[in-house]
């Protein structure tokens, strides 16, 4: 089954304790992205990657890191989490078609992160 | 930069009735894609319908249809014969047709929460 797998689904952590949210897709998609969703703000992009070793900042990158060493994986790293990073996080991927991104995204199931 | 605006934070509809969710966007591009996503309480993001800007015909998927007005930069979603399972948050999203830099990114509105009354 074609899917984007995020782990964990729920995470409660303490301020300053480094954590990683994993994301993996099995569709051979070139494009991957991380979003955070907050009430009243919709989904805002954190980082995106157009291919292996190619990553760039989205609209709200502060406090986050990413890496893309393999095409299928795109982990999100919070080096020193703070309470304002409490949010719902989504990983998503997309294919290219003839050089254009035809489809919308395939989303993971989301990670609910609470930083206390 | 492109922006997407959903002016209705919440909407309500009676079961079996029709409801229209509004979305406007701002862009200087001529080629792009527009999407409606549904997010039920399970929080999964589900693609409802997609519209290519170069197509004049409005997209339709079963009970879901759009009214795409390119000149007005408007992209509303109509849900016919509403069902209890349609209750969800709905997001309108924009994507450039170009690929490069940030142009492939999906830009979302803030969402409209739809309630369906039995």
Q: Which DSSP string corresponds to A13-70? A: E-TT--EEEEEEESS--SEEEEEEEETTTEEEEEEEEEETTEEEE-S--TT-EE--SS
How do residues B52-102 score in pLDDT, each as one tens digit? 898 889 999 999 999 999 999 999 999 999 999 999 999 999 988 765 556
How far A80 CA lies from chain B's nearest CA (Å)? 26
pLDDT at A97: 58
Contact of A48 with chain B, judged by CB distance below 8 Å, is answered with: yes
Residue-wise pLDDT for A25-81, tens only, equals 999 998 899 999 999 899 999 999 988 998 999 999 999 999 999 999 999 999 999
Provide φ and ψ at B86, rounded to 5°: -80, -10
**In the structure, what pLDDT confidence band is assigned to residue A14 with cuts at 50, 70 and 90?**
very high
A103 lies within 8 A of chain B by CB: yes
Per-residue pLDDT, A101: 55
Average of per-residue pLDDT across A10-28: 96
Could you give the CA distance from residue A10 to residue A87 in angstroms, rounded to a whole number?
Answer: 11
Distance from CA of A69 to the nearest CA of B (A): 19
Please provide residue B14's backbone torsions phi and psi, each rounded to the nearest 5 degrees. Answer: -80, 140
User: Does the CB of A39 have a partner CB in chain B at under 8 Å?
Assistant: no
A113 has which bridge partners? A11, A87
Q: Answer whether A95 touches B (CB < 8 Å).
A: no
The three-state secondary structure class of A81 is coil
Whole-number pLDDT of residue B100: 58
**CA trace torsion B4, B36, B15, A37 (10° rounding):** -70
| Cα–Cα distance, A73 to A1 (Å, whole number) | 17
User: What mean pLDDT value characterizes chain B?
Assistant: 92
* pLDDT score recorded for residue B99: 59
Q: Look at residue B31 in the predicted model and tell me its pLDDT.
A: 85
Cα–Cα distance, A93 to A3 (Å, whole number): 9
pLDDT band at A107 (very low <50, low <70, confident <90, very high): very high
The pLDDT-based confidence of B30 (bands split at 50, 70, 90) is: confident
Assess whether pLDDT exceeds 90 at residue B118. Answer: yes
pLDDT in the model for residue B29: 86
Q: Which of A44, A47, A51, A100 to mutate to test the interface with B (most CBs of B within 10 A)?
A: A100
* CB distance A110 to A94 below 8 Å: no
Residue A108: name the closest of A27, A24, A36, A42 by CA: A24
């Amino acid at each position: 089954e074609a899917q984007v797998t995020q782990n964990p689904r729920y995470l409660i952590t303490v301020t300053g304790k480094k954590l990683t949210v994993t994301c993996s897709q099995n569709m051979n998609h070139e494009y991957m992205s991380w979003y955070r969703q907050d009430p009243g703000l919709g989904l805002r992009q954190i980082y995106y990657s157009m291919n292996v070793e190619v990553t760039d900042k989205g609209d709200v990158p502060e406090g986050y890191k990413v890496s893309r060493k393999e095409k299928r994986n795109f982990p999100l790293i919070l080096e020193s989490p703070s309470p304002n990073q409490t949010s719902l996080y989504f990983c998503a991927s997309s294919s290219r078609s003839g050089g254009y991104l035809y489809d919308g995204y395939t989303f993971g199931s989301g990670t609910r992160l609470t930083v206390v | 930069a492109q922006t997407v605006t959903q002016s209705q934070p919440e909407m309500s509809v009676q079961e079996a009735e029709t409801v229209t969710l509004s979305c406007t966007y701002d862009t200087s591009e001529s080629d792009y894609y527009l999407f409606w996503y549904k997010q039920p309480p399970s929080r999964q993001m589900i693609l409802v319908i997609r519209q290519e800007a170069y197509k004049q015909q409005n997209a339709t998927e079963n009970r879901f249809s759009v009214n795409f007005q390119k000149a007005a930069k408007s992209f509303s979603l109509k849900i016919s014969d509403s069902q209890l399972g349609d209750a969800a948050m709905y997001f309108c999203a924009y994507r450039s047709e170009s690929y490069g830099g940030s142009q492939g990114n999906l830009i979302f509105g803030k969402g409209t929460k739809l309630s369906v009354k039995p």
